[in-house]
Amino acid sequence: MKIKKLQNLYIYNKNNKKRYIKFHMPGNYGGKNLNKKFRKYMPFFETTEVYGTDDYHNPQGIIKKAEKSTAKLFNSNHCIYLVNGSSSGIIAAISYLFREGDQILVSRDCHKSVIYGLILSGAEPVFSEHSGASPLDYQGIQQAIKKIERIKGIILTTPNYYGIGNKDLKLIVQLCNKYKIKLLVDEAHGSHLYFTDLKVYLANTCKADLVVNSTHKNLTGLTQTGVININAEDINLSELRKHISLTTSTSPSYILLASIAYCTEQYTQIGEKILQKTIKKGNYMKELLDKYKIRYIKEKDLNSNQYLDPTKITLLFKDNKKAKEVFKQLIKNGIIPEFLADNKILLFINYKISKRELVKTAAILKRFSTEEEDILYSQENCFRIRNTGVLTPREAFYSQKEKIPLKKAKGKVVVQPITPYPPGIPILFPGEVVTEEIIKYLKNSNFSSIHGIENGMIEVVKDKFFDDK
Ligand SMILES: Cc1ncc(COP(=O)(O)O)c(C=O)c1O
C-alpha cells in the first residue's frame, strides 16, 4: 500500500486541493466529528492490559463502568463493547443463543455475519413463506412461528442498510415472549435513531432480547466499534462474553474501546442536537432532489408498518445502466456515495456535510431528472431471489468442495455466502442451490464486488446436484 496515496484519500484534485464530498460511513466523517477530547488524547490510549486499564475479556474496572454508561445511552439493561465490528457481535450472539438442530427464522435481508453465526452454531435458517424473499414483517412472523416445528429464535435486521425499519417490533417482542422464542435484532444501522422520534420503534426501546448496535456506522466511534445490548433477564453475561471472546483478539485495541466511551459521552450530551442538524440537512437535500425531479425512496413507497430513516437517501434510476452512469459522474466530480447497487445509489447524510456540498451534488444529479411515475419502487424487487436450502450453512461450509465456473453452476449447492459488497446482503446462503435466475441476476448486476465469486468461479459442494425445476 502506498502510504502517501492513503494520506491523500480525502483530496481528489491535488492541484487545487479539492476535497471529496462524503455521503458514506463512518459517521465520524473521516475523524472530523470525533469527540474533541478523544482526538486530543487518542495516542495515549495505545496501551494493553496493564495495571489500571482493566481487562476487556473479564472487565471489572473502567471498561465495565464505560459499558454501563453506554447501556444508559441505549436504554438497555447491559452493554458489552465490541472491537471487531457489529459482525463479531452478531456471530457471538448467534453462537451463544442457538445450537445444532435449532430452527431460526431469518429475514432474507440479513448481513453475511448472520450466516457466519449460523455456521458456528450449526443452526438451520428458515424463511417464512409470507416474506421469504423480503424483510420479515409481523404477519410473516406470526404465520411462521406456527409452522416451524423446532423454532428457537428469530433474527431480524431493522432498520436495514437503506434505512427502512420495522414499526411492529413491540408486537414482535410480545409474540416472542409468548412462544419463548429468542429475538436477536441487528440494529447496526439504527444507533443514531435513538436521538430522534423514531426511538419508539427501536429494538432496545422495545426490549428485544439481544440487540447489536454499530457505533461507527452512524455515530462517531472508530471503524470496527460496536456494542451488544442485552435486555432479557435470562441472558448469562459471562457466558455471552465467552462467545464474544471466540471472535475477538486477546489484545483488543484500547483506542477502539476508548472511542466507544467518548462517543457515548458525546451523544449523551449533544446527540439530539446532532440528529436535528443532520435531519435538517437531509430534508434540504430532498427539497433539491424534488425540485430537480430526481427519484428517491420516500415514505409513501413503504408499507404502513415501516419507517424511513431521515438521514438516508436512496436514489432510484430507471435501470442498472443509468445508475452506473450517474455513479460514475458523481465519482468524477469528487462525490462519494455509500454504494451503488442495481438501480440504486445510497447517500448517507452526515451532520458535517455543508449546504454548498449538497447544492453541488444536486446540480450534478439534475442532469438525470426523470418523471416520478417512470420509476416504480417495490421492495420485492430488492430481495426477489427466493431459494431453499438443502443443507444447513454449517453442513455446506464444512463439506468437500470444488471450484467451477458460475455459468455452469446451475443445480449446485454453494458452500459460502454469495454476497454483493456493499451492501453485504447475501444472494445465496451456504447450502442453497444455484438457479438459472441467480446466474442471470449476478451476470447483469453492477455491484463493485461480490464475495464468493472470484474470476467468474464459484465454490460448490463436490458431487452434489439438485434439479431446481
Ligand atoms: C445490516 C448490517 N449488519 C451488520 C454489519 C456488520 O457491521 P461491521 O462492519 O461493524 O462488522 C453490516 C455491515 O455493513 C450491516 O450492513
Question: Is the distance from the beta carbon of residue 86 to the nearest atom of ligand 1 less than 6 Å?
Answer: yes
Q: Report d(CA 134, CA 446) in Å as an integer.
A: 20
Beta-carbon contacts of residue 21 (< 8 Å; ≥ 6 apart): 334, 335, 336, 353, 357, 360, 361
Tell which residue, 21, 27, 9, has the closest CA to residue 358. Answer: 21
Please list, in sequence order, all residues whose beta carbon lies within 8 angstroms of the beta carbon of residue 332, skipping any fewer than 6 positions away: none
> Distance between CA 115 and CA 430 in Å, rounded?
8
For 80, the enclosing helix (H) or strand (E) is strand 78-82
Return the pLDDT at 379. 60
What per-residue confidence (pLDDT) applies to 371? 76
**Interatomic CA distance for residues 64 and 59, integer angstroms:** 5
Sheet containing 312-316, strands listed edge to edge, beginning at the edge strand earlier in sequence: 312-316, 344-348, 339-341
Class of domain 36-266: alpha beta
Sorted by where each begins, the domain ranges of the chain are 3-23+272-378, 36-266, 385-461
Residues 92, 97, 100, 104, CA torsion sign: negative
Would you say 432 and 389 are in contact if contact means Cβ atoms under 8 Å apart?
yes
Most confident of 9-13, 359-363, 366-370, 446-450: 359-363
Domains 3-23+272-378 and 36-266 share a fold: no
The Cβ of residue 452 has, within 10 Å, a number of other Cβ atoms equal to: 22
Q: Is 189 in the pocket of ligand 1 (CB under 6 A)?
A: yes
Measured in Å, residue 87 CA sits from the centre of ligand 1 at 6
Judge contact between 343 and 353, C-beta under 8 A: no
The CATH superfamily label for domain 3-23+272-378 reads Aspartate Aminotransferase, domain 1 (3.90.1150.10)
CA 298 to centroid of ligand 1, rounded, Å: 23
Neighbours of 101 (CB within 10 A): 11
pLDDT in tens, 45-56: 999 999 999 999
Residue 149's pLDDT is: 87
The yes-or-no verdict on residue 132 having pLDDT over 50 is no
Q: What is the pLDDT of residue 128?
A: 64
- Closest-CA residue, ligand 1 atom 9, reads 85
Q: What is the pLDDT of residue 64?
A: 97
The angle that helices 112-121 and 85-97 make with each other, rounded to 10 degrees, is: 30
Write down the pLDDT at residue 383: 45
Confidence band, pLDDT 50/70/90 cuts, at residue 134: low
Q: Report the SS3 class of residue 340.
A: strand
The overall average pLDDT reported for the chain is 91
161 lines ligand 1 (CB under 6 A): yes
Which protein residue's CA is at the shortest distance from atom 7 of ligand 1?
86
Q: What is the pLDDT of residue 465?
A: 73
pLDDT one-digit tens code per residue, 56-92: 999 999 999 999 999 999 999 999 999 999 999 999 9
Q: Choose one of 106, 107, 113 to mutate for the ligand 1 pocket test, by most ligand atoms within 8 angstroms of C-beta.
A: 113
For residue 191, is pLDDT > 70? yes
Torsion of CA 385, 294, 201, 342, to 10 degrees: 20
Q: What is the pLDDT, as a whole number, of residue 182? A: 98
42 confidence band (pLDDT: 50, 70, 90): very high
Q: In which element (H, E) is residue 395 found? A: helix 393-397
Round to the nearest angstrom and report the end-to-end CA distance of the chain: 48
Fold of 385-461: Ornithine Decarboxylase; Chain A, domain 4 (3.90.100)
Whole-number pLDDT of residue 285:
98
What is the per-residue pLDDT across 419-447, written as a single tens digit (0 to 9) for each? 888 788 888 899 999 988 889 888 888 77
For residue 381, the model assigns a pLDDT of 45
Least trusted range by pLDDT, from 110-114, 181-185, 191-195 = 110-114
- pLDDT score for 386: 55
Task: Read off the pLDDT of each residue in 5-21 and give the average, rounded to a whole number.
Answer: 75
Main-chain phi, psi angles of 73, to 5 degrees: -60, -40
Instruction: Taking residues 306-320, report their average pLDDT.
Output: 95
SS3 content of the chain, % helix, strand, coil (to 5): 40, 20, 40
Predicted pLDDT of residue 226:
98
Residue 1 pLDDT exceeds 70: no
How many CA atoms within 13 Å lie on the side-chain side of 100?
A: 5
Residue 267's SS3 state is helix
Q: Which 3-state string (H, E, C) describes 270-304?
A: HHHHHHHHHHHHHHHHHHHHHHCCCCECCHHHCCC
Confidence (pLDDT) at 144: 86
Contacts of 143 (CB under 8 A, 6+ apart): 128, 129, 130
Q: Which of 25, 86, 107, 225 to mutate for ligand 1's pocket (most ligand atoms within 8 Å of CB)? A: 86
pLDDT at 382: 45
Beta carbons of 107 and 155 less than 8 angstroms apart: yes
For residue 105, the surrounding DSSP H or E stretch is: strand 103-106
Q: Which of 38-42, 224-228, 317-321, 373-377 has the lowest mean pLDDT?
A: 373-377
Q: Do 342 and 265 contact (CB within 8 A), yes or no?
A: no
Cβ 113 under 6 angstroms from ligand 1:
yes
